[in-house]
Every structure is written in structure tokens, then in C-alpha cells.
């Protein structure tokens, strides 16, 4: 029974880190708030792997995971970005953009729960990746204008509900013997986060952005390839006639 609850503890850890990120942002500690979202991503990546390693998957765990993701990768990053970058924007516009991000995240999660997508791929940018990009992007607020930040927020929101295909990296397994090392990995990550929050956030930002961009470029390549095939087919049809 205890073994079956271990994955849910990691999921609740994910939710807790999301709440801590919101609290830190409310105190103006934005770098640390952003890195809490990143560590929550680690927790989110571990809970499913641990569940599979321990054969402890459940519908309850799946629903709990989605609810936790809404806090850590929907509400928390949106609040961080709002607090850091949207304060000088018209309040109505700032509120609308801030709300749209978790709304699209909720739609993304609901769609995934009822329609997971094709094997090996996610349909739409996963909310942990979108939230991670938004939270770490907020650290550049001193150098980037609020309108650009709003556009970036809306773009990430759109990518979550889009039909673009993204590689499913969660299928990478975790050996059962490694399950007991996972808490140490999380504690080590939190220690690094506290000591080097800004540097670590900047470092994580790059691969997250590349992942988000990959979905767009990969799907553009697929569209162009299909267009070329249709063109060749039309040419063959025309020559045959």
C-alpha cells in the first residue's frame, strides 16, 4: 500500500513547489520562484516513471497529476510573469493575457486525459514545458519589453492547444532500483536551486525553448513534405492524361 502511494507523493511535491513558487513571487524573489517551477518539472517527470517502475499506475494518480500541473505549470508561471513584466501594461490586457495561459493549459491537460495522442508524441506543447519556458523567460524582463513578453505568453498558450506534435520524453523508463535514489536527486536539485537559482534558470531556459521551437519547425517540415508529395502526384496525374 505504501509503495502504491510513492508516486503520488512526488506529484504532491510537484504541487507544493508550484505553490511555493507563487509565494516566492509574491515576495519578489522571482529567480527562486522560477527555479521552483523547474524543480517541479523534475518531480513531474519522476512521478510517472516511478509509478511505472513500481507498477503503481492509477486513474487517481493521473487526475492528481493534472491538477498539480495546473498549479505548478499553469498558475505559477503566469503569476510570476504577471508580477515581473505586466505591471506597467493596461490592467485589463494584463489580466486577460495572464488568465489565458492557465486556461489554455487546462484545455491542454483535459484533451490529453481523454485523447492522449499518437504513440511517441504529444499533441500540443506539454504544459510543464510551456510553464518552464514562461517562468524562466520572466527572468529576462529587465531586457525585454512587456509587449514582447505578452506575445510570448500568448504564443506559448497557443502552442499548448495546437495540434503540433512534440516528442514524448516521458516514455524513457526508470529502473526499479533507481526509485530510491529519486528523493536524493530532488533534494540535490532543490539545494542547487537555492544556491544558484538565477544561473540554473538561465541554463534550463535554452533546452526548453529549443523543445518548444522544435515542434513548430518539425511540423513545418512535415507540411512542406506533404505539399511536395501532392505536387508530384498532380504532376504525375497530369502527365498520365
* pLDDT above 60 for 172: no
pLDDT number for residue 183: 61
* pLDDT above 70 for 218: no
Section 152-177 average pLDDT: 78
What secondary structure letter does DSSP report for 167? E
Neighbouring residues of 68: CB distance < 8 A, sequence distance ≥ 6:
11, 12, 14, 15, 18, 44
Give the start-to-end residue ranges of the domains of the chain. Answer: 2-240
* pLDDT above 90 for 16: yes
Report the CATH number of the 2-240 domain: 1.20.120.1760
pLDDT: is 164 or 231 the higher one? 164
Partners of residue 166 on adjacent β-strands: 122
pTM recorded for the entire structure: 0.79
pLDDT tens digits along 17-71: 999 999 999 999 998 899 899 889 888 888 777 777 777 778 888 889 999 999 9
DSSP string, the chain: -HHHHHHHHHHHHHHHHHHHHHHHHHTT-HHHHHHHHHHHHHHHHHHHHHHHHTT---HHHHHHHHHHHIIIIIIHHHHHHHHHHSTTS-HHHHHHHHHHHHHHHHHHHHHHHH---STTEEES--HHHHHHHHHHHGGGTTTS-HHHHHHHHHHHHHHHHS--EEE-GGGS---GGGGGGHHHHHHHHHHHHHHSHHHHHHHHHHHHHHHHHHHHHHHHHHHHHHHHHHHHHHHHHHHH-
Neighbouring residues of 37: CB distance < 8 A, sequence distance ≥ 6:
17, 18, 21, 72, 73, 76, 77, 80, 131, 132, 135, 136
Amino acid at each position: 500500500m505504501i509503495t502504491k502511494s510513492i508516486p503520488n507523493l512526488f506529484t504532491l511535491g510537484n504541487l507544493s513547489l508550484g505553490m511555493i513558487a507563487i509565494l516566492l513571487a509574491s515576495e519578489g524573489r522571482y529567480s527562486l520562484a522560477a527555479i521552483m517551477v523547474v524543480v517541479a518539472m523534475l518531480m513531474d517527470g519522476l512521478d510517472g516513471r516511478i509509478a511505472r517502475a513500481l507498477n503503481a499506475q492509477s486513474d487517481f494518480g493521473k487526475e492528481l497529476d493534472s491538477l498539480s500541473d495546473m498549479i505548478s505549470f499553469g498558475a505559477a508561471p503566469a503569476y510570476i510573469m504577471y508580477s515581473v513584466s505586466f505591471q506597467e501594461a493596461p490592467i485589463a490586457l494584463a489580466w486577460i493575457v495572464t488568465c489565458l495561459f492557465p486556461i489554455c493549459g487546462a484545455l491542454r491537460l483535459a484533451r490529453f486525459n481523454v485523447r492522449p495522442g499518437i504513440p511517441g508524441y504529444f499533441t500540443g506543447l506539454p504544459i510543464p514545458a510551456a510553464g518552464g519556458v514562461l517562468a524562466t523567460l520572466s527572468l529576462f524582463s529587465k531586457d525585454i519589453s512587456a509587449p514582447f513578453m505578452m506575445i510570448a505568453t500568448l504564443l506559448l498558450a497557443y502552442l499548448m492547444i495546437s495540434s503540433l506534435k512534440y516528442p514524448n520524453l516521458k516514455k524513457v523508463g526508470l529502473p526499479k532500483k533507481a526509485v530510491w535514489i529519486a528523493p536524493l536527486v530532488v533534494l540535490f536539485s532543490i539545494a542547487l536551486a537555492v544556491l544558484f537559482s538565477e544561473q540554473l534558470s538561465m541554463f534550463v531556459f535554452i533546452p526548453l525553448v529549443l523543445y518548444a521551437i522544435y515542434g513548430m519547425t518539425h511540423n513545418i517540415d512535415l507540411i512542406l513534405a506533404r505539399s511536395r508529395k501532392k505536387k508530384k502526384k498532380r504532376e504525375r496525374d497530369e502527365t498520365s492524361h
